[in-house]
Amino acid sequence: MNIKIIGVGKLKEKYFKQGIAEYAKRLSKFCKFEIVEVADEKAPESLSQSEMDTVMAKEGERILDHIKDKEYVYALAILGKERTSEAFAKEIADLGTYGHSDITFVIGGSLGLTPAVLKRANAQISFGKFTLPHQLMRLVLSEQIYRAFMINSGSPYHK
């Protein structure tokens, strides 16, 4: 199985990099795990709706450039469907069983994801109503992917 996370922006914080590297190492027993960083658009604090749409469109194009037709895509979106860790683990297992061995997760930048990316997604997933920095979300998502594989392997890690 191939798991990819596409994130907007460069991860700068050493502690996030270390945490993600740890989960990447753990995941190597179960899948090929990859993180792709796409450039974020520089944007001042106050933008008009038109400027925000332009920023999101440019970031969206960069994201879509890294998604192949055969990939099953989850878009992380606040309005996406919330899942339990067990339900998420079952989804991952079912995708692998039914021919979707390439799974991609997309984390947008500070303005979110463009409609084109959301349309390409096979599913939207939410980790709740909280707004989290996209850098932190990469770490949380990496852990939940690892947790899914541990649940599926019957490991006590999940408890």
pLDDT tens digits, residue range 29-38?
999 999 999 9
- State the Cα–Cα distance between residues 135 and 57, nearest whole angstrom: 20
118 assigned to a ligand binding site: no
pLDDT tens profile 45-103: 788 889 999 999 999 999 999 999 999 999 999 889 999 999 999 999 999 999 999 99
- The residue ranges of every structural domain in the chain are 2-158
64 assigned to a ligand binding site: no
CATH topology classification for 2-158:
Alpha/beta knot (3.40.1280)
